[in-house]
Amino acid sequence: MASIFLFGTMAYAAEFRVDYLETDGDLLKVEGWASNKKITLVLQDAVTGEIYDVRILDSDYETGFSALIRPNRNGTFRISVIAEDETNPSEVEIYFMAESDRRRIEQAVSSGTMEELKEAFAGTDAVKLYELTTEDGMDNSLIGEALYYFRETMNDEKHPEELLTLAAAVASLKQKKDIESLDVILAEIEKFGTEIDCRVLYEGMDNAGKKAVAERIAAQQLDFSNINDSFKEAVILGGLESCTMWSHAAEYLAAAEITAYDDANQIDKEFIEQNTAGKKFLSLTALEKETERLLSLKNSASAGGHSGGGGGSSGRKSPVQSGVPYIPKAEEPEGTEETENKTKIVFEDVSEEHWAFEAINFMHWEGIVQGYQNCFRPDNFLTRAELVQMLCRVFSLDGGKECTFDDIESTSWYYPALCTAQERGLILGDGSCFKPDMNITRQDMAVIIYRFARECGFEIGDKQMYFADDDEFGEYAKESIHLLAGCGIINGYEDGNFYPMGSATRAHATQMVYKIVSKSR
């Protein structure tokens, strides 16, 4: 006898059960036991409470009781049984479906076309028949669509009914783009013996990262022929996109198995990590091309270089320094002149041939910038907070009492500098947040440096210089860039562009501030 779907238990606690009758699939057989008592059996609509059938039955001690019931439509019904002398009925809810409808749905699941599957699942019948979990308002026809693709790509490895829970989870993911649906998908796939690449990496992600993965998977046509490739790509790209610290990008880039990154030295790897963390890539191929471009850009910048530029936030953190990133003004070695100190090689990665050598050495000896042990890492990007800290030192600004940005903690090393800058109107953020740990874009850096310089009486003048990509500047940044370029504080690239949305490096910022310091002395 085929089992009928019951809401809750199979009702054995109530001493009866319900099944479809084998010889007539449109009849329900109710049978149970109640020890020589009269039994009242009631069939009613589970939603409206409307009563369709009432039976008075005898229950024999040995054979119990039984009855055949024919519901008049598909739907959810409540069957109640109460024995004489009892006050509380035993009851169960069932979803009844006519035999012809069951056979139609089963046929569609087994061998139907995509349209037949979508039609079968468009209503509630198929969902109830197979006891699938869905939510109100969802387009269940997507279950049929997903099942069709799975059935076609499985090569008869699994019976279609075994794929229904997976198909329902895929349909849910496509509509909700949620972590829970993706977790069901992964669990179902692993039940089939398929090992999922990058599963450990995924489990270690925070909810923001998992959400990014779910959104990427939801946008794909998921099938068993490429599940590992699809999931691996989604984890790597979703992980990079959700990175709030550039150092976290390393594990995703390593998983991508990109030759240019794998073969790079540690400094170059960090450069790639800073420029890919927080960015959205459409594919692993796009990530690979960007990695190669970044290495080419870094090598050309290290070999030649260009002058300082502007700022903003790109979404990647620069290297984290332990403690407050400040060193006192260096004491001059005994028996040497100050000018000699400022021309000595201080950092191993900034040779005398480096385009920003003079600026970096001078600013270091003035106690304005510091390095990382014996290195300065000139090509590393600068964060928004690091720039403000540097400028407060340069212009000797302090005394701020409170910072009202929502994303600034009073215990942060940069808190005093941001308090001072905000109270003076030198930084505005986006109104509620400043995003201190995000890389600063060239145009935002120009704006903030311009404000500091004007606040402290630096003579900028009214001469303006324009760039080939002026139309890409934000309106708020145009005046600052044009005026700073006009007085020689910033220059563009050799191709005549300023590249306002590019991230400013430590060398760029140091060179730019050095020019201001030099002009003011």
pLDDT band at 6 (very low <50, low <70, confident <90, very high): very low
Q: Give the residue-averaged pLDDT of 328-356.
A: 61
106, containing H or E segment: helix 99-111
> pLDDT tens, 301-324?
554 444 444 333 333 333 322 222
Cα separation of 444 and 167, whole Å? 48
Closest CA to 158 of 148, 169, 150, 149: 150
Query: Six-digit token pair at 424?
Result: 């003076």
pLDDT of residue 5: 40
Pairing of strands 65-69, 51-58: unpaired
- Report the range of poorest mean pLDDT among 63-72, 106-115, 124-133, 384-393: 124-133
Who wins on pLDDT, 3 or 38?
38
Give me the amino acid identity at 397.
Answer: L
Q: What angle do CA 289, 292, 296 make, to 5 degrees?
A: 135
Asked whether residue 335 carries a pLDDT value surpassing 50, the answer given is: no
Q: What pLDDT, on a 0 to 100 scale, did the predictor assign at position 252?
A: 93
How is 66-125 classified by DSSP, letter by letter? Answer: EEEE--SSSEEEEEEEEETT-SS-EEEEEEE--HHHHHHHHHHHHH--HHHHHHHHHSSH
Higher-pLDDT residue of 320 and 56 is 56
**Does the pLDDT at position 269 exceed 90?**
no
What mean pLDDT is predicted for residues 18-37?
82
* Model confidence at 95: pLDDT above 50: yes
**Identity of residue 348:** E
Beta strands in 321-423, from DSSP E residues, in sequence order: none
Taking only the tens place, the pLDDT of each residue in 406-465 is 999 888 889 999 999 999 999 988 778 898 988 888 899 999 999 998 888 888 888 999
pLDDT at 304: 45
Give CB contacts under 8 A, 24+ apart, made by 155-158: 157/192, 158/192
Would you say the pTM of this structure is higher than 0.75?
no
Query: Whole-angstrom Cα distance, residue 483 to residue 503?
Result: 20
| Least confident piece of the model among 165-174, 191-200, 444-453 | 191-200
pLDDT(330) > 70: no
Q: What is the pLDDT, as a whole number, of residue 313?
A: 33
pLDDT of residue 270: 82
Amino acid letter, residue 309: G
Can you give the pLDDT at residue 262? Answer: 93
Q: What is the mean pLDDT of residues 326-330?
A: 30
Q: Label residue 56 by pLDDT band (50, 70, 90).
A: very high
Q: Is the pLDDT higher at 220 or at 291?
A: 291
Q: Do 435 and 299 meet the contact criterion of CB atoms below 8 Å apart?
A: no
The pLDDT assigned to 520 comes to 65
Average of pLDDT values for 216-238?
A: 81
Mean pLDDT of 195-205: 88
pLDDT over 90 (residue 353): no
Q: What is the pLDDT of residue 396?
A: 87
Q: What is the pLDDT of residue 156?
A: 62
Q: Rounded distance, CA 30 to CA 66, Å?
A: 5
Tokens of 52: 């369709």
For the chain, the average pLDDT equals 81
How far is residue 332 from each of residues 63, 328, 343, 453, 475, measured CA to CA in Å? 106, 12, 12, 29, 45
pLDDT at res. 338: 46
**Separation between Cα atoms, residue 434 and residue 141, nearest integer Å:** 45
Torsion angle of alpha carbons 184, 190, 196, 199, nearest 10°? 50
- Strand 38-45 relative to strand 75-83, pairing: antiparallel
Contact 498, 312 (CB under 8 A): no
Nearby residues of 450 by Cβ (< 8 Å), 6 or more positions away: 460, 479, 480, 483, 484
Between 306 and 377, where is the model more confident?
A: 377
Torsion of CA 498, 500, 501, 505, to 10 degrees: 70
State phi, psi for 226 to the nearest 5 degrees. -140, 25
Q: Which residues pair with 42 in a beta bridge?
A: 54, 80
Helix then strand count (H, E) for the chain reads 20, 8
Residue 93 CB partners (closer than 8 Å, separation 6+) = 6, 7, 8, 46, 76, 77, 78, 79
**What pLDDT score was predicted for residue 72?**
86
**pLDDT given at position 43:** 93
Please report the pLDDT score of residue 348 as a whole number. 86
Residue 479 pLDDT greater than 90, yes or no? yes
Mean pLDDT in residue range 478-494 = 89
Between 415 and 336, the more confident residue is 415
Residue of higher predicted confidence among 10 and 288: 288
**Tokens of residue 328, six digits:** 């006192």
What backbone phi and psi angles, to 5 degrees, belong to 52? -105, -25
Mean pLDDT across 371-392: 86
Is a pLDDT exceeding 80 seen at residue 372?
Answer: no
371 versus 143: the higher-pLDDT residue is 143
Answer yes or no: is pLDDT of 73 > 80.
yes
**Average pLDDT score over residue span 244-253:** 83
Q: Quick one: pLDDT band at residue 217, thresholds 50, 70, 90?
A: confident
Q: Is 54 helix (H, G, I), strand (E, B) or coil?
A: strand
Cα angle value 365/341/325 (rounded, 5°): 20
Question: Given 3-state DSSP classes, what are the helix, strand and coil percentages for the chain, each rounded to the nearest 5?
Answer: 45, 15, 45
